[in-house]
Structure 1
Amino acid sequence: MTLNEAMAEFGPSWLRVWLPLLMLGGFVAPVVLIFWSKTRVIGIISIVASLIAAFAIDYMYKQMGYVKLLGLPHIIIWTPLIVYLIMQNRRHDFPTWPKRILTFMIVIIGISLVFDYVDAVRYFLGNTMPLVMYDPA
């Protein structure tokens, strides 16, 4: 079973709404930022960070199964990213739309980090049992 299948089958029902929003904030919005020269680097950094986190989460799933600790790559990678995004969003030389997109990214990544931190604390407090193990078949 893949991670996407595990989340669809064993995750809460609201996850089906949340995951597309997370993809918008973590992958689509940064791609849009590339179109403005002043936010191009921000978009590229955000895309690279999200790709690294996604690959790390997939690797962890294959090693550990569907556990609460899967958000750890988000915590490690997105915590500094959100600080960077907040600092960049305070600049006054960006057009209106890039600032709106940055704000959207900050909100989505921030919400995700709240879930990830809560899940990581739960994991470290003993909730280590996987809901499902990775099955390559």
Structure 2
Amino acid sequence: MSFAEAIAAQPAWIGIWLKVLFAGGFVLPLALFIWRETRLAALFAVLGNVVNMFGVQWLFAKLGYVKLLGLPHILMWGPLVVYLVVLARRPTTRVWPRRVIWVIVTILSISLAFDIVDVLRWVLGERAAFELPT
């Protein structure tokens, strides 16, 4: 089973969430290229997402559909969220980029909450692959 097939076999709410995550975590950061003060953040987000994509695919190929798949998100998005929060709180950051940043931070933080729980469960011994309907 491919990673895409494993995702497609999940409940409908997961598919909806992944679309929100794609929009907020992958597409919306591209808007940060518009403003000079957020271009570095946009670059970090894009590069982090590329690393995430390869990291998740690599883990899936090695271990299957397990809870550890959230680890690349934690490693890439954790520092990115901290950086974005610092950037959004700067008085020199304009209103619209700040709004975009807060939407990105909100979406990535929700994802990170799921990822942290899943990775901790994996570390604590819950290493079986997710049950997928056949």
- TM norm. shorter chain > 0.5: yes
8 Å Cα contact 1:79-1:113 kept in structure 2: yes
5+ residue gaps, structure 2, are none
8 Å Cα contact 1:68-1:122 kept in structure 2: yes
SS at match of 1:127: coil
8 Å Cα contact 2:33-2:42 kept in structure 1: yes
Structure 1 segments of 4+ aligned residues over 2 angstroms from their partners: none
Q: What whole-Å deviation, never above 9, does each CA across 1:33-65 have from its counterpart, x for those lacking one?
A: 101112111111111111111110011001110
SS at match of 1:14: helix
Instruction: Write the distance in 1 (CA, Å) between the matches of 2:107 and 2:4.
Output: 19
8 Å Cα contact 1:67-1:128 kept in structure 2: yes
8 Å Cα contact 1:61-1:70 kept in structure 2: yes
Aligned to 1:5: 5
8 Å Cα contact 1:65-1:132 kept in structure 2: no
> Larger RCO: Structure 1 or Structure 2 (Cα < 8 Å, ≥ 6 residues apart)?
1
Instruction: Write the distance in 2 (CA, Å) between the matches of 1:12 and 1:72.
Output: 22
User: How far 1:125 sits from its partner (Å)?
Assistant: 2.0
Aligned to 1:119: 118
User: How far 1:131 sits from its partner (Å)?
Assistant: 2.9
Q: CA RMSD in A?
A: 1.5
8 Å Cα contact 2:67-2:130 kept in structure 1: no
Aligned to 1:37: 36
- TM-score, structure 1 length as denominator? 0.90
Instruction: Write the distance in 1 (CA, Å) between the matches of 2:91 and 2:25.
Output: 23
Percent of residue pairs bearing the same amino acid type: 39
Instruction: Provide the aligned length of Structure 1 versus Structure 2.
Output: 132
